[in-house]
Amino acid sequence: MAERMGFPTSIERVERLTPTLRRFVLRAQKQALPPVSPGSYATLEFGDGEKVYKNAYSIVMRSEDGLELTVIVRLAPQSRGGSRFLHEKGQPGLPVWIGSVANLFPIVKTARRHLLLSAGIGITPFLSYLKKMRSIGADYTLHHFCRPEERSAFDALLSEQDQTRVFVHTGLPSEVGLADWLRDESIATHVYFCGPEGFMKWVEETTHKLGFAPGKVHSEHFFVPEGGRPFEVILARSGRRVSVKADETLLEALELADVDAPCMCRGGACGACEVTVLGGQPDHRDHVLTEAERASGNIILTCVSRAKTDTLTLDL
């Protein structure tokens, strides 16, 4: 690959929010970082001599001068190492390369009212939303769901917000009455949600049942891909074979083998990494492909999806 795109930064400050959540402030070494909008994420590359990790994280804040970006990283139990590395070795001074910045989850400018629903780490895109919405005097409400032991951390994280619009709950959405609140929303309300899979599914089903039009419901199914059983890919154009280890993604394996594979979000959310499958059966884990595309079995998003068969033949 030709010139390396991106921005060199290093960790400036680290703050432990809870045992599993850490806030990192990254400082640009040279020029200002690209502009961001509420909901933007950045792809970060970091590591040690042994391994390079590439993960995408929601941007919580960009400083006025554009030199600092803040992200919050959750230590995922199923982490393939990236989040764990940042939690264990992410100290001030560690170099972090910002590969790209993009937004798949923007605020709908024309919306009259915004209802934000998050659970756990899903709060991160909304931290930048809240700032923006407050500054423009928008009509919004946030309901955040977390475990009882994390409550104080999230209360602290949200302490500077407008307390009449921001609510933290330790009960399940179905227990605290979220369905009734949703039912009571005006027809002009747009709903945004982000969180773990179970939460996402509940909100998806509930909003659908209540008659929210698809154009009013926005979600970010952003996640750090999990590992799985190893498999082998055959690159049809060159006949090369690349093995994908249990703790690496298909995309990472391709990159390591110097294959020029497309990608953007690295979290199964954008669809940029789509590749044609010529043989074998994909194990789809993204949130982009339609049911029909999944069933056809002839495309795969390499950043998160794996294989059900021992080999997968790709049009690469």
Partner 1 sequence: MGTSELPYRPLTFDTDGRRHLFVRENGMLAFPEGVRPAVFEVWTIEHSSLVKVEPDTGDVQMRSTADLLERLVHRLAREKVGLRLYAAGRPDFLAKVAKVADEAGLCSGEIMLGEPVGPERRVFCVHCDTLHDGVSGDTLMCQGCGTKLSVRNHYSRALGAYMGGGEPAVVIAAMEAVAHG
What are the residues binding ligand FES (CB under 6 A)?
Answer: 263-266, 268-273, 286, 288, 301, 303
Residue type, 196: P
Q: Which of 61, 41, 156 is nearest to 102 (CA)?
A: 41
143 vs 221, beta carbon nearer ligand FES: 221
The distance of closest approach from Cβ of residue 122 to ligand FES in the complex, given in angstroms and rounded to an integer, is 18
> Per CB under 8 A, does 117 bind partner 1?
no
Residue with tokens 């560690």: 94
Instruction: Enumerate residues 6+ apart whose C-beta is below 8 A from 266.
Output: 43, 54, 55, 56, 225, 251, 273, 303
Picked from ligand FES, partner 1, none, the partner binding residue 213 (CB below 5 to 8 A depending on kind) is: partner 1
* Pairing mode, strands 68-74 and 52-62: antiparallel
Residues 137-176 that bind partner 1 (CB under 8 A): none
The distance of closest approach from Cβ of residue 1 to ligand FES in the complex, given in angstroms and rounded to an integer, is 16
The distance of closest approach from Cβ of residue 241 to partner 1 in the complex, given in angstroms and rounded to an integer, is 44
154 vs 223, beta carbon nearer ligand FES: 223
Q: Which of 125, 99, 80 is nearest to 9 (CA)?
A: 99
The distance of closest approach from Cβ of residue 213 to partner 1 in the complex, given in angstroms and rounded to an integer, is 3
Instruction: Answer left, alpha or beta for residue 276, where phi above 0 means left and psi between -120 and 50 means alpha.
Output: beta
> Per CB under 8 A, does 187 bind partner 1?
yes
Residues in the chain: 316
Q: How far apart are CA 14 and CA 76, in angstroms?
A: 18
The distance of closest approach from Cβ of residue 274 to ligand FES in the complex, given in angstroms and rounded to an integer, is 8
25 vs 233, beta carbon nearer ligand FES: 233
Q: Answer for the pair 150, 160: CB distance below 8 angstroms, yes or no.
A: no
Instruction: Enumerate residues 6+ apart whose C-beta is below 8 A from 180.
Output: none
> Per CB under 8 A, does 189 bind partner 1?
yes
Picked from partner 1, ligand FES, none, the partner binding residue 168 (CB below 5 to 8 A depending on kind) is: none
Which residues lie near partner 1 (CB under 8 A)? 110-113, 182-189, 208, 210-216
